[in-house]
Structure 1
Amino acid sequence: MLKTHAAGVDATPPAVLIERHHNVAYITLNRPAVLNALNEAMLNKLVHAFQTLSTDKDIGCVVLRGAGDGFMAGGDIKEFRTQMELPEAERLHVFQSMLARVGLLVEAMRAMPQPVIASVHGAAAGFGMSLVLACDLAIAAEDASFTLAYCHLGVTPDGGATWFLPRLVGLKPAFEIAALGERIEAPRAADLRIINRVVPKDALAEATETLARRLASGPRQALARTKALLNAAFGAPLPDQLRREGESFSRCTLTGDFIEGVSAFVEKRRPTFNRG
């Protein structure tokens, strides 16, 4: 059985749910009545969840998903409406503070050693799409759609979207996606490399679990080092990256996983990793 962790008793359902199953943590965006729109409570809980899970040695993979009819509709526009009534200086401070927390969230996702999978159904709009881009892998149901809808509100993208998107799709397609804010269906999103895989809607949960358990049972130190190397690759000159690769490979040879991997290969059997 999945075990849900929620602190205290509150009449309002928690904005974020955390479940653990087979060394996989499932983080569920849980404001389905508003298509999981991001508000301050959800943002703070997400930051805390990713920072906490990053040090959990029992967790080998993290899945991010949405409750209800979609993944995430972006920011909570109704909250934005109330903030429009603030004096300009105060409004600027409110949004700067919120976006600083957004930055902490994305940095925590990228810095954590475990791979993060976005499991997407329905709409991933605005910051919802930014979250998908920030994940290490993304698997989507056939009904999923993506739109970087910031331009429709007269603002620029956040959540690292302008960093991830051109690296995934190229500069001109990235500008088109950001400047026009058009809806991208799942098959085209896969062609653009925004997501990795598209599966039938009723197969999303099983396909996500299969992928997550495969990663969680892999050589964790090697996967964590691979993630770190890939994160650094775009900003590193080739000689520096070659040096980092050499250091990382050498360090991996000191792990039990390396001994197990070599032994399993020679003995023609499937390796059992996570031995340290």
Structure 2
Amino acid sequence: MSEPELLTQIDEGIARISFNRPHARNALTPAMVQAMIAFLRECERRDDVRVILLTGTGDHFMAGGDVKAFAQAADAAPEDRRSQFETLALDTLPLFALMERIAKPIVAKVRGACAGASVGYVAAADFVAVSDTALFMVANAAIGTSPDGATSWHLPRIVGLRKAKQMCLLGDRLTAQQALECSLANWLHPDAELDAAVEKLLRRLANAPTVALGQAKLLLNAAPGNALIDQLALEGQAAGLCCATQDFAEGVTAFVEKRAPNFRGY
């Protein structure tokens, strides 16, 4: 029996998602998308999930869509191809809506190839740690198609419009160092140190006040599309939610008592 194409696990507050097709550089399949949507929905409703990790097995993060599978459609009629690939792209809408709205931080751990749609997955994460082996490329133009995987929405907001056009229209690659310099990545580590560094980050986030971090994430995601008065209203609502939690009571008590807080996530 073959292993699942998407590996998932929840343990000690950390939910882990691993693309698991190492023989194909973890190239994405429709089944992987649907499995990820289902798991993220579970993570959203479970109080014991406090942080989510997104990574790939083996030496690569993910090589985007499965181009070998795409090639099977090359001989189909143009309208059939149009319908097929439009549906494939739209089927990811619930996934990126979940990544945007889930009130828990998402960390992407990237080594090796991060190509095509997978750049959108990384750009949609809240934090990104990369190995010095990481290489980012929006390779869609090379096969005669446009960016997908929410890349066209997230990428210009993070790296800027001109850099996004350079990647999407010209197919220019970013090294790990260049990804760090243009804010696509938060941290760059030697490959041998990446796993330990990410585990330390995951534990730090899992031990933090989950509601407060979640509300901060949602506020920051909403801010670019809001007027000041609307954003202040959201800040007020978020403050009310946070201050009603046990973590708020623990946080202010620990501050007064000059000790480290022991947050429980609620």
Equivalent residue for 1:125?
115
Once the two structures are TM-superposed, the CA of residue 250 in structure 1 deviates from its matched residue by 2.5
Match of 2:175 among 160, 181, 185: 185
In 1: Cα distance, 2:262 partner to 2:31 partner: 40
Tell me the amino acid that sits aligned with residue 214 of structure 1: R
- Cα deviation, 1:218-254, whole Å, max 9, x if unaligned, reads 1111111111111111111111111211221132111
Residue 86 of structure 2 is matched in structure 1 by 96
2:72 maps to a residue whose letter is T
Question: How do 1:76-115 residues align onto structure 2 when only pairs under 5 Å count?
Answer: 76-115=66-105
User: For 1:187-246, what per-residue CA distance to the aligned partner results, in whole angstroms no more than 9, with x for missing partners?
Assistant: 110000001000111111111111111111111111111111111111111111112112
Separation of aligned partners in 1, 2:161 and 2:30: 32
- Aligned residues of 2:117 and 2:150 also touching (Cα < 8 A): no
Matched with 1:140 is 130
| TM-score normalised over the length of structure 2 | 0.96
2:213 aligned residue: 223
| Percent of pairs with identical residues | 38
Which stretch shifts more, 257-266 or 156-165?
156-165
Contact 2:28 2:64 in 1 (8 A): yes
Q: CA RMSD in A?
A: 1.2
Q: For residue 266 of structure 1, what is the aligned residue in structure 2?
A: 256
Residue 215 to residue 275, structure 1, CA distance change in 2 (3 Å):
closer
What stretches of structure 2 of length at least 5 have no aligned partner?
none
TM-superposed CA distance for 1:15, in Å, is 0.4
Mapped partners of 1:211, 1:93: distance in 2: 42
| CA distance in structure 2 between the partners assigned to 1:103 and 1:159 by the alignment | 9
Quote how far apart the aligned CAs of 1:17 are: 0.4
Q: Distance in 2 between matches of 1:100 and 1:258?
A: 40
State the TM-score, normalizing by the size of structure 1: 0.93
CA distance in 2, matches of 1:21, 1:203: 22
Return 51-60 or 32-41, whichever deviates more.
51-60
Extract unaligned runs of 5+ from structure 1. 1-10
The alpha carbon displacement at 1:275 in A equals 5.5
Question: What is the CA distance between 1:84 and its match in structure 2?
Answer: 1.9
Q: Indicate which of 40, 54, 59 corresponds to 1:69.
A: 59
Letter in 2 for 1:208: V
- In structure 2, the partner of 1:40 is 30
What amino acid is the match of 2:70? F
